Amino acid sequence: MITYHDALAQFIKITNETDEKILYLIIDLCDCDYPLLAAIENWQPALQYCLLFEQTPEESIKEEGPLLLALDIDNENHLEILEKICEIIHMNNRLLAFNSRYPFGTLEEHLRRAMQVKWGKKEGLLRFYVPDMFDPVNMVLSDAQKNWLHQYMQRWCYVDNNGEWVIYHADYPPCEQNEFDVKGFVFTEKQYNTLLLWADVYNYRRNYGIALDADEYGGERMLINQLYVLATEADAKLILSQKQRVQFFSNNLQKII
């Protein structure tokens, strides 16, 4: 299991491996028990950050959304708050980091637009910035969508729900001006519904199945995959309420040892 010291060392290591010395963090502030926003706002010298829900339909809850923070790993002052952030949230699905050679303003604008998604006549929020959902989002994106999302990033990194370190190498070429720059993502119903199933899976694992021993199900990945199959079955059986779905998962999970 990765400790916060391990996470800190890894963040520094992967940033040192790039030509840039800036580490970018996306921190999910929703229901965070620790007043991280206040700590970042009041840090001296002042830090470069923004609330990504500003200038979006979610602006009214901007202090409960994702925060983008830039830290210079050669700056001891910045390393101090990075260590504190790692200590508080490195294992609770709130911290996604990346490296980039692009300026803060470009990244801020791009990430805001990438969070907006439409499907059919509906629109909503694409929470790719939450570590649990980063891989599922990548799985449902088309090649063009994936290229557009990752075009400004060199690498993404985070600690997954199994406590393992994940590095996603991006390095996609810059995109020419296209529809995503104006509209954000437009998903098919299938893409969006698939993400809802994965969100359901991780919600169960973190909030209702936290005590499950993954080894009894063949490991964490096999447990997650089994939960995904159950989520699709629950949809097919029109088991839609949260209470019923939780009970369905609990009743039908099969140990393999």
Per-residue confidence (pLDDT) for residue 33, from 0 to 100:
86
Per-residue confidence (pLDDT) for residue 73, from 0 to 100:
94
Q: Are residues 82 and 166 in the same domain?
A: yes
Per-residue confidence (pLDDT) for residue 151, from 0 to 100:
93
If residue 48 lies in a helix (H) or strand (E), which one and from where to where?
A: strand 48-51
Position 113 in a domain: yes
pTM beyond 0.85: the answer is yes
Position 111 in a domain: yes
Per-residue confidence (pLDDT) for residue 41, from 0 to 100:
96
Q: 146, 170, 187: which is the final residue of a domain?
A: 187
Query: Strand 185-187 and strand 116-119: pairing?
Result: parallel
Q: How many domains does the chain have?
A: 2
Low-confidence ranges of the chain (pLDDT < 70): 177-182, 257
Position 257 in a domain: no
Q: Are residues 177 and 99 in the same domain?
A: yes
Tell me the residue type at 216.
E
To the nearest 10 degrees (0 to 180), the angle between helices 189-207 and 220-236 is 120
Q: Are residues 208 and 165 in the same domain?
A: no
Measured in whole angstroms, the distance separating CA 216 from the mean position of its chain's CA atoms is 27
Q: Are residues 134 and 49 in the same domain?
A: yes
Range of the domain at 50: 4-187
In contact, 61 and 96? CB cutoff 8 Å: no
Per-residue confidence (pLDDT) for residue 179, from 0 to 100:
65
Position 52 in a domain: yes
Q: Are residues 125 and 226 in the same domain?
A: no
Which residue, chain included where needed, has tokens 């088309």? 142
Q: Are residues 122 and 227 in the same domain?
A: no
Bridge partners for 158 per DSSP: 166
Q: Are residues 131 and 19 in the same domain?
A: yes
Q: Are residues 139 and 240 in the same domain?
A: no
Position 58 in a domain: yes
Per-residue confidence (pLDDT) for residue 146, from 0 to 100:
93
Q: Are residues 170 and 55 in the same domain?
A: yes
Q: Are residues 183 and 206 in the same domain?
A: no
Per-residue confidence (pLDDT) for residue 91, from 0 to 100:
86
Per-residue confidence (pLDDT) for residue 210, from 0 to 100:
87
Q: 163, 187, 211: which is the final residue of a domain?
A: 187
Q: 139, 160, 187: which is the final residue of a domain?
A: 187
